[in-house]
Structure 1
Amino acid sequence: MNTNPKLWHIGLVGYGEVGRILAEDLRQLGVKVSAHDLKLKSEAGSPLRQHAAIHGVTLHESHAELAENADFIISAVTASQAVPVAEACAPSIRPSAFFLDFNSASPGAKIRAADIVNRNGGRYVEGAVMTSIPPYRIKVPLLLGGPDANALMPLLNALGFDSKVTSEKLGVASATKMCRSIMIKGLEAMVIESFTTARAYGVEDAVIASLHETFPGVDWEKQGAYFFQRVIEHGRRRSEEVREVAQTVREIGLEPWSASGTAERQAWVADLADAGLFGPKGTKEFARSADWRTEADRLLAQFKPID
């Protein structure tokens, strides 16, 4: 395998927001990039094909085709697909090729995916993305884990990534990410539920004033608007991630009441977004209002409060 990562052919499984950002930044370095996404076989794949054409990304028809042509594979799909992607790529993976699992999956899922890839001659490394990708792009803080993590880290960082090894034991990086998500994704769900209910009762200003008094370092108006928009746009992916969070909790024998509730609230907003509540049906377009009240009012219009 070529030891100069800038000469690699990098295969991206998943060409959504994350995949496209990575592709853009890697192509700016002149790195050869290919991608596969299940959406390419549907009408939803049209924007993906357009993006690939603009940025010089080769699109493959199958996981196998991508794997057999790639020196390094990055899996960046929804949480529930982490193990299936490993299963689909592994039989065709090149000997000793790295497979970076970028997905927000439970430690148990990462360990299963690693076994599949490694048994087929690949070198599996788990990755845990520790904050929102768009502001940082390829430099998003990334924790690596597994026996091959130390070998991959300098190669990744030579490509512009900001990665560090957290443990040679699989599951540690994922557990760190999942436990953080209990708080972050849970806070998003709580803010949507709290602020929307407060809006219905006409007490939102008093609630926000009280929150500011307790947590003076947080701009709750701005944070509320950000949380509403992130969940509206990415609620489906977030709900799947939090179901993996719940599984992470369940794996230690603890019932994930908070995580399960968070997943349901995120999925509920995603269902409404898919139905066109926040924009044209079947699209992800919506009004990016700086005032969360605009979105809360749309939610409130969907149901009648109890008298």
Structure 2
Amino acid sequence: MPARDGLIRIAFIGFGEVGDLFARGLRATGRVSIAAYDIKLDDPAARDGMAARMLRAEVRRCASTADAVADAEIVISAVTASSAEAAAQAAAPHLASHSIFFDINSAAPSTKQRAAAAVTEGRGDYVEGAVMAPVSEAGLRVSILAGGSRAAELAEALNGLGMNLTPVAHEIGRASATKLCRSIVIKGLEALMIDCATAARHFGVQDDVFASLSASFPSIDFARLAELMAGRVAQHGVRRAAEMREAAEMLASAGLQPGLSLAIADAQERGAKR
């Protein structure tokens, strides 16, 4: 997979927290060259901040998706779940021959399948990724499930650079279904804890409530958990709301009720700091 100069050429579409952390970790190996494009570069109010982030990460700042992916062997799509399909469609016509488009967004299986169809209509190949833990804690070593015909090949390449991919299927959808089923619980717990803590504070009964919960589940410090979860939602609630709407799409496509996931999405959005 390395290019003529011995470096693996990687492009990031989306350069938020995940793209930044991954790029820094990959750059530290000395074995990659990295280009990046983020839609914030098109926003005069956000452009300077994003450009500074890319400069600190030592990646080549690109003016468009087409510029970023043109000669990349691996394209990592790290946008919001609601933009995952559009990002794949934008990149597809410009992908280098036999490149791999690695979609790590928390999107529904059906969304990933449509994104895969867009990519494979061009010259690239599609691999879905499902990030199974907070990237802020594990960094480059975060567990990622991978699916697609070249998932094993991609895992070998990226694991050799310090990542932690586990190929789980040749078909697209299994990895994302695993992720989103888990997310119903994790994001749902966050929503429950925030509503519980908010109501308990309003009535001045938080100590009694948390003591009662801890008596039922002695291994959990509920006061600490409520604090941690509120912080996560404040920082990532908008992105997590988009993820839960993808979970709702997954459930609806299976003939199951999406109402709970949609309610969790609304709660995540309410808790986010704008």
Query: TM-score normalised by the shorter chain: which range applies?
Result: over 0.9
Q: CA deviation at 1:49?
A: 1.1
Give the aligned partner of residue 126 of structure 2.
124
Equivalent pair of 2:2/2:9 in contact (CA under 8 Å): no
CA contact (8 A) 2:20 2:57 kept: no
1:80 aligns with 2:82: yes
List structure 1 runs of 4+ shifted beyond 6 angstroms. Answer: 3-6
Residue 25 (structure 1) aligned with residue 50 (structure 2): no
- 3-state SS of the aligned residue for 2:113? helix
Give the root-mean-square deviation of aligned CA atoms.
1.5
| Separation in structure 1 between the aligned mates of residue 72 and residue 164 of structure 2, nearest angstrom | 22
Residue-by-residue CA offset, 1:76-120 (whole Å, 9 max, x unaligned): 000011110000000010011011001000000001111111110
> What CA deviation, in whole Å up to 9, does each residue of 1:224-272 have, x standing for no partner?
11100000111110111111111111110111121111000111122xx
User: Is the 1:5–1:158 Cα contact (8 Å) retained in structure 2?
Assistant: no
Q: Unaligned regions of 5+ residues in structure 2, if any? A: none
Deviation, 1:8, is 1.2
How far apart, in 2, do the equivalents of 1:241 and 1:35 lie?
23
Structure 2 residue aligned with 1:98: 100
Q: Distance in 1 between matches of 2:60 and 2:26?
A: 13
Partner of 2:42: 41
Q: Which runs of 5+ in 1 are unaligned?
A: 275-307
Percent identical among aligned pairs is 40
Among candidates 232, 235, 246, match of residue 234 of structure 2: 232
**Structure 1 residues 59-82: Cα deviation after superposition (integer angstroms, max 9, x where no partner):** 111111111131210000000111
What is the count of residue pairs matched by the alignment?
Answer: 272
Could you say which residue in structure 2 is the equivalent of 1:112?
114
Paired position in structure 1 for 2:143:
141
Compared with structure 1, are the counterparts of its residues 3 and 142 closer, same or farther at alpha carbon in structure 2 (3 Å cutoff)? farther
CA distance in 1, matches of 2:2, 2:113: 27
Change over 3 Å in CA distance of 1:195–1:4 after alignment to 2 = farther
After superposition, the Cα gap between the structure-2 partners of 1:245 and 1:6, relative to the gap in structure 1 and judged at 3 Å, is: farther
Cα distance between partner residues in 2 of 1:265 and 1:22: 29
TM-score where L is the length of structure 1:
0.86
| Whole-Å separation in 2 of the counterparts to 1:56 and 1:130 | 27
- The amino acid across from 2:261 in the alignment is A
